[in-house]
Structure 1
């Protein structure tokens, strides 16, 4: 509270001096009167009307009086207060004030000018902007940036302390099915409802956030392992029991949950989120509505292996530690131009090469596989540009794309930029995607395929036949090749169901104008049966084991037409 200046002994003498000094005055202001009334109602401050036009505050003004001044009659200035923050935090939040003394011609202080600004509107706008910046606009939950900020702040504040807390990562499995069947507005409604369900399962002190299209995360504060597991299971049960209704359709929603206990050894929100994401992936692999607990101090061998592979993958990407191989795809019905699939290997310290089955699972779980895809495509574009005059005998070169890349718009833009800036014959390029990835990301797959088709790029659907709805999606995916899942090929001679499946796929492909490729072919008897069934191409160790990429450039030794001529001469 500001100190009052030394004033005249009575109010009448003071008013005379104010009039002589031509003190600052203004017309009556409704806003000032309303603030004065609010001050009176909020903190019990007494007010007194000023009716004389020569008074400091002017005609029909009010000033704030001390609580002791209970009388409505005019009070001395010594009883007035110049600031109200000490009386009410509510008012201090909406009012900004300043005070300046008034001096007469003799330099004596005779009063004070008080200026009050209503800050309610500005503060409301600032709060709304802050909310929009830190919250998801659809669900109203905390967004990813704010969540990671809170998580890192929490880690920093509790580093070295022996406290029990937890991080939960939640992935909804059926959102895309709802979007496809009922539209994105229905998917938005689903996210809001599921967000509310999860919010009801956690405590008021916990933080729930939406961190991706169908992904959520929770920080469970001061929560031991048993309590964290109980909350996670409650979320699982609640989502499992939930039925989403839209357009007279009912949808069951599945959720996979990864749980990481936060102890003093964690130092980064990035490593924590990766661990939780990895645990969530393990839960998804185990089945529907599952929880997987990730232990940092007692890692399973799989997790230890993943952590090691992540480091090696990042080093390989940084220091050119990958190398490309190729495997030819052989025609069964007629001779023609060659086909091949590009394969990746990691360089070993001993000079050998590591198969992709060893490191790709970890790359998938830790979201590194799209970076690998970018590396492969960049290398292939450069190789095709350099060898543009030596590829006339090649019809298609197939490059595998992961599901993560297929659903990533930024990746699509990356490939389009390469096509537009690199001088290659795109008609020789074929992107190979798994059936599961294409169906899971069907909208993104359709957009990407359409964009690539405009540049002549072809597509092959890998592992075809492994999904339960394989044939139903063919009309929606403009692919050129169907690569029959190898599980039907390995025991084709003995497996009657496998034989019927392969025949069916070959027949459907013929009707829809697509060509078929059978992978994992390792015996002549299997190849003969596939040819009789109407399959167009085979791929496997029977005809070609993976070799260095540049072997594709050796026309004389590798051209399949040359092999056919040799066979014909032998007979």
Structure 2
């Protein structure tokens, strides 16, 4: 299929383009074309001077070239004999003139159409102005010249009046009529025959607005006014009014779609010439052939100016549409970007309010560890990976899902589903297509892992941003599942959860600002009678403004999720050290004070310097302080964390590994980190007396720890029998409600040891 010319088709979008042949498979189409050709030729009789046979407005010239360009050369097989018959029987032309004129019209149309098609084939990225110049030079001039040569020879042979004129004068006059007909009617014919449905749809959309009707009323009123003034012998005023048609036409072209302009320009020329030929409306009266030539040059110039204005409008529209498309398109993958998807999502939500069908689902798909892939493969390969993912997503879901890329390796789409079960099967299919697949961006093989979340567009949330947030949250929760798929079935529940989370965040912020955190402590009991010092772990609580005490489960999960743990840990370290410094008797009785460190704190490069400074300010011996670390994904840089632990031990502090036995890489942590204590997770302690496997695990942990010079602390210790069992297995310390419950730190030192 040839590139679609914007001038001749009215800059129709690619979705509206259709091969012209699809509209002309029925004989009725060809019959209609023949009838239109005959009707236009008959209508041209209205634009002749007296007994002159030449018409001032010659639509067949443009119809021949436009139809040939749109339908191919086979259109000439229909139009040429029909035109010959019209010349011979209806127009009464001599056989020689009819034969040469029909032959010339056929060859001229073939030449013009061939040159235009060649221009489109070789100049796919030409603009409207280039196409307009091609129309004038290739179709109107070259094609019209071929037709004029044959027509002029036919006139000289078939008409005694024409024989008296020179050949070149006849050719020139004939060419003027041909060129004007091509300029006016070739674009109109091509656009109409290429896609009739689109052509009439655009005109219908224009006339559904108020502006064209206002223009029609003004134009009709102007014509009547010009006729009235001319009837009153006020010719100068009538002429001024008559020439006001042109700015009105320009206004119409600027305000309407290109197909409407393609119709309006020939209508304007026809009205202008009709009034001039009849000496009406104050326009120059055409009496002689020279008058006609002058009027043709005038009206032809006005028509060209209108077409130039149309070209400017088309180019402007094309640029604006291009900029709008760029603003909505992801530059890397060609999918929608976040801005476009948000607009489409808003439209889908608006449509949802007027529909009773089941809501669509917003699906969020993210490639895990995308940043590491970029670090390993580099930008070019990472970008190639994104393009491959986008192509696969488009191939899997299709354009109706409106897939979009909203961030690095992050995609969203809409998915209809009648029920959650149906949706889950669809998500499983999508997940299977992506997760575990091996792609080769830039020649590098990489296996990807994805997480998929979905939220319904159920109308419960305020705007598209909140739905995107809900789908994002679902994808984060999916990371804890296998397969990594999670569906939020009701966003109303999400709203209440989000509201509660917001309240917790604000409560935590205010508590930190108003210093409403409090230190608690839980005693750790040595199982060896030789260890007589006081061991305890520092815990933290939050005091509400009304005095209510909030347990760690009420604020620490939110603090971990939203990045407050570093600030809380620093508060605990500073407050603990200064509290011990302010109470020398507490400090003197302390053998080990254990303080928990979150993974985010351990990743802070300033942590050790902060601890060192606070130890110096408080004057607390570093040997009395122990820091507990936990196996967690929040430790972003493992080697940096190892260095932090080593630096803390160099200060004189000891380090414990908390929750040993249930973490991510338990024994690897023992090998990597320089530790002093290992805290055995309560999952192995709680049912120790009745579970032989737990006993074996605890015994094995103690043996490994002892071989590495580490001491062990058992958590969740409850009851004297359990304490004795742990002592027999080789555990060094115990901690739990059976030994002491958490209490405000001052109570720990006020109560005697159990």
TM range (shorter): 0.5 to 0.7
CA 1:291/1:89 → structure 2, altered by over 3 Å: closer, same or farther? farther
Alignment deviations for residues 465-513 of structure 1 (CA, whole Å, 9 cap, x no partner): 1247422443334454332111100111222211221122222223344
CA 1:89/1:149 → structure 2, altered by over 3 Å: closer, same or farther? closer
Q: SS of 1:387's equivalent?
A: helix
CA 1:156/1:252 → structure 2, altered by over 3 Å: closer, same or farther? closer
Q: CA RMSD in A?
A: 5.2
Q: SS of 2:693's equivalent?
A: helix
Give matches, 1:12-91, under 5 Å. 41-43=130-132, 44=134, 46=136, 68=183, 86-87=310-311
Contact 1:323 1:344 in 2 (8 A): yes
Larger radius of gyration: 2
Q: Does 2:668 align with 1:493?
A: no
Decide which of 393, 397, 400 is 2:594's aligned counterpart: 397
2:257 aligned residue: none
Contact 1:377 1:399 in 2 (8 A): yes
Contact 2:573 2:595 in 1 (8 A): no
Q: Does 2:749 align with 1:525?
A: no
Provide the C-alpha distance between the structure 2 equivalents of 1:415 and 1:344, rounded to a whole number of angstroms.
Answer: 19
Contact 1:166 1:259 in 2 (8 A): yes
Decide which of 212, 216, 221 is 2:410's aligned counterpart: 216
Alignment deviations for residues 9-29 of structure 1 (CA, whole Å, 9 cap, x no partner): xxxxxxxxxxxxxxxxxxxxx
Provide the C-alpha distance between the structure 2 equivalents of 1:140 and 1:473, rounded to a whole number of angstroms.
Answer: 45
CA 1:291/1:487 → structure 2, altered by over 3 Å: closer, same or farther? same
Q: Offset at 1:260? A: 0.9
Provide the C-alpha distance between the structure 1 equivalents of 2:366 and 2:673, rounded to a whole number of angstroms.
Answer: 26
Provide the C-alpha distance between the structure 2 equivalents of 1:288 and 1:221, rounded to a whole number of angstroms.
Answer: 19
Contact 1:151 1:219 in 2 (8 A): no
Provide the C-alpha distance between the structure 1 equivalents of 2:183 and 2:656, rounded to a whole number of angstroms.
Answer: 87
CA 1:420/1:534 → structure 2, altered by over 3 Å: closer, same or farther? closer
1:544 aligned residue: 740
Q: Does 2:698 align with 1:502?
A: yes
Alignment deviations for residues 528-569 of structure 1 (CA, whole Å, 9 cap, x no partner): 3323333332211222210113446x3x756xxxx5xxx9xx
Give matches, 1:360-509, under 5 Å. 363=558, 369-384=561-576, 386-387=578-579, 389=581, 390=583, 391=587, 393=590, 395-401=592-598, 405=600, 412=604, 423=617, 427=622, 431-435=627-631, 437=632, 440=633, 443-451=636-644, 453-454=646-647, 456=651, 459-467=655-663, 469-509=665-705
* Bigger strand share: 1
CA 1:492/1:229 → structure 2, altered by over 3 Å: closer, same or farther? closer
* Bigger helix share: 2
Q: SS of 2:461's equivalent?
A: coil
Provide the C-alpha distance between the structure 2 equivalents of 1:262 and 1:157, rounded to a whole number of angstroms.
Answer: 8
Contact 1:276 1:294 in 2 (8 A): no
Q: SS of 1:87's equivalent?
A: helix
CA 1:210/1:343 → structure 2, altered by over 3 Å: closer, same or farther? farther
Decide which of 251, 257, 261 is 2:452's aligned counterpart: 257
Provide the C-alpha distance between the structure 2 equivalents of 1:322 and 1:547, rounded to a whole number of angstroms.
Answer: 14
Q: Offset at 1:254? A: 5.5
Provide the C-alpha distance between the structure 1 equivalents of 2:711 and 2:477, rounded to a whole number of angstroms.
Answer: 35
Number of aligned positions between the proteins: 448
CA 1:458/1:42 → structure 2, altered by over 3 Å: closer, same or farther? farther
Contact 1:316 1:346 in 2 (8 A): no
Larger deviation, residues 222-231 vs 388-397: 222-231
CA 1:385/1:433 → structure 2, altered by over 3 Å: closer, same or farther? closer
Contact 2:686 2:717 in 1 (8 A): yes
Provide the C-alpha distance between the structure 2 equivalents of 1:469 and 1:400, rounded to a whole number of angstroms.
Answer: 18
Q: SS of 1:265's equivalent?
A: coil
Contact 2:128 2:314 in 1 (8 A): no
Q: SS of 2:637's equivalent?
A: helix
TM-score by structure 1 length? Answer: 0.60
2:376 aligned residue: 184
Contact 2:385 2:439 in 1 (8 A): no
Contact 1:141 1:210 in 2 (8 A): no
Provide the C-alpha distance between the structure 2 equivalents of 1:417 and 1:341, rounded to a whole number of angstroms.
Answer: 22
2:711 aligned residue: 515
Q: Which runs of 5+ in 1 are unaligned?
A: 1-33, 49-64, 97-122
Provide the C-alpha distance between the structure 2 equivalents of 1:538 and 1:502, rounded to a whole number of angstroms.
Answer: 13
Decide which of 514, 524, 536 is 1:340's aligned counterpart: 536
Provide the C-alpha distance between the structure 2 equivalents of 1:339 and 1:195, rounded to a whole number of angstroms.
Answer: 58
Contact 1:340 1:396 in 2 (8 A): yes
CA 1:172/1:78 → structure 2, altered by over 3 Å: closer, same or farther? closer
Q: Which runs of 5+ in 2 are unaligned?
A: 1-122, 139-178, 187-296
CA 1:309/1:68 → structure 2, altered by over 3 Å: closer, same or farther? closer
2:508 aligned residue: 317
